[in-house]
Amino acid sequence: MASKITATHYSDLTPAKNVDNSVLNKMIWRSLFLQASFNYERMQAGGWLYGMIPGLEKVHTNKDDLALSMSHNLDFINTHPFLVTFVMGIVLSLEQQKADIQTIRSVRIAAAGPLGGIGDALFWFTLVPITAGIAGNMAIDGSIAGAVLFFTVFNAVQLFVRVFLMKWSYSLGTKAVTVLTANAKEFTRAASILGIFVVGSLIAAYGGTELRIAIADPAIDAQGLLNGILPKFLPLVITLALYALIKKGWTPTKCIMLLIVVGLAGTCFGILKGNSQVIREDGTPIPGGYTPLVEWYDLPVAE
């Protein structure tokens, strides 16, 4: 939603001097609060203006121009929170040159739009699966270093990206928009492919869903048969099934609830394996790691 501003240009049209690194650094730190005042009318506008204020105060010495700039910087904006400094650098460059107000507004929206897909591919589909997969496995093994590793790597990368994009886009100005739009499709596709590759690797490395069922007489381990056909077959099937459900409109929350229900039902009926290392009274382990509530077949006794 755009604010009702009729002015088309600033009163003082003299280009301002370049802002120093201390101002840019303030804007970078303030960008962390982009979504602090998120609302459904103007999305991230409040946090955007909060991040822009140090730069706007530096380039607009005329109080009326500063007020006008702050007003139109409260226009609707919605972009990726980790890549927002890219837009901030471009807009600050235009504000410094005292560009036409409508031009600034148009460039702000044009630069902010493509960043959603790029940021999702870069962070949610690539960085998070890699770091969370490695760190999660460490945490399962009882190491607190897993949590430390995840938060350290994730935040170090996103802070580096914020700093780099702010300095780079501010120095390029509107040329940065051309660079972004010319390569956005290819970059997003490349990041998405990398993310899919990483997710596939994590399925193979950490997928632990297995069957507990023994069939025939003498007993044959059903999971052993699957492993002979394709190791990690069940994790792959589950992943593809969840992907299909999401494509049909299921939310991630519904998918998680479905996994919980299937997991509980599978262990209750002795279909899925567990890792509780349950043993019999004589000390021999129970294949599958637990005793199901409903026993409809006999497992062989371990020697």
pLDDT above 70 (res 174): no
- Greater confidence, 292 or 1? 292
Domain count, the chain: 2
Average pLDDT over the chain, rounded to whole? 84
Domain boundary among 156, 190, 206: 206
CA distance to 128, 296, 300, per residue, from 232 (Å): 22, 25, 23
pLDDT above 70 (res 278): no
Averaged pLDDT, 209-227: 77
Adjacent-strand bridge partners of 272: 211
Residue 55's pLDDT band (boundaries 50, 70, 90)?
Answer: very high
Residue 54 shares a structural domain with residue 113: yes
Averaged pLDDT, 237-264: 92
Q: Which two tokens stand for residue 263?
A: 């997991």
Residue 261's pLDDT band (boundaries 50, 70, 90)?
Answer: very high
pLDDT above 60 (res 1): no
Averaged pLDDT, 259-272: 90
242: Cα within 13 Å, side-chain hemisphere: 18
Of the chain, the percentage scoring pLDDT greater than 90 comes to 40
Residue 122 shares a structural domain with residue 93: yes
Averaged pLDDT, 3-22: 84
Residue 168 shares a structural domain with residue 198: yes
Structural domain containing residue 101:
1-206
Is the dihedral angle over the CA atoms 106, 112, 113, 115 positive or is it negative? positive
Find out whether 276 and 251 touch, Cβ atoms under 8 Å.
no
- Greater confidence, 26 or 221? 26
Residue that the structure tokens 């960043």 belong to? 115
Residue 198 shares a structural domain with residue 78: yes
Residue 214 shares a structural domain with residue 197: no
Model pLDDT for residues 60-87, shown as the tens digit of each residue: 999 999 999 999 999 999 999 999 999 9
Predicted pLDDT of residue 286: 63
Residue 163 shares a structural domain with residue 216: no
Question: Of 21, 11, 3, whose CA–CA distance to 98 is shortest?
Answer: 11
Residue 240 shares a structural domain with residue 91: no
Residue 268 shares a structural domain with residue 167: no
CA distance to 99, 118, 178, 248, per residue, from 181 (Å): 21, 11, 5, 30
> Which residues 6+ apart lie within 8 Å of 294 measured at CB?
268, 269, 270
Residue 47's pLDDT band (boundaries 50, 70, 90)?
Answer: very high
Rounded CA separation 192/2 (Å): 33
Rounded CA separation 75/83 (Å): 18
Averaged pLDDT, 225-248: 89
Averaged pLDDT, 169-175: 79
Residue 277's pLDDT band (boundaries 50, 70, 90)?
Answer: low
pLDDT above 80 (res 284): no
Question: Of 12, 18, 94, 88, whose CA–CA distance to 58 is shortest?
Answer: 18
Model pLDDT for residues 91-141, shown as the tens digit of each residue: 999 899 898 898 889 888 888 877 877 888 788 878 888 888 888 888 888
pLDDT above 70 (res 180): no
pLDDT above 70 (res 192): no
Predicted pLDDT of residue 54: 96
Residue that the structure tokens 């702000």 belong to? 108
Residue that the structure tokens 């410094």 belong to? 96
Lowest pLDDT segment from 9-23, 85-99, 183-197: 183-197
Domain boundary among 206, 234, 251: 206
Dihedral angle computed from the Cα positions of residues 257, 258, 259 and 263, in that order, rounded to the nearest 10 degrees: 110
Q: Which two tokens stand for residue 240?
A: 């593809």
- Greater confidence, 180 or 243? 243
Residue 277 shares a structural domain with residue 289: yes
Residue 223's pLDDT band (boundaries 50, 70, 90)?
Answer: confident
Domain boundary among 156, 181, 206: 206
Residue 94 shares a structural domain with residue 196: yes
Residue 28 shares a structural domain with residue 166: yes
Residue 52 shares a structural domain with residue 67: yes
- Greater confidence, 191 or 58? 58
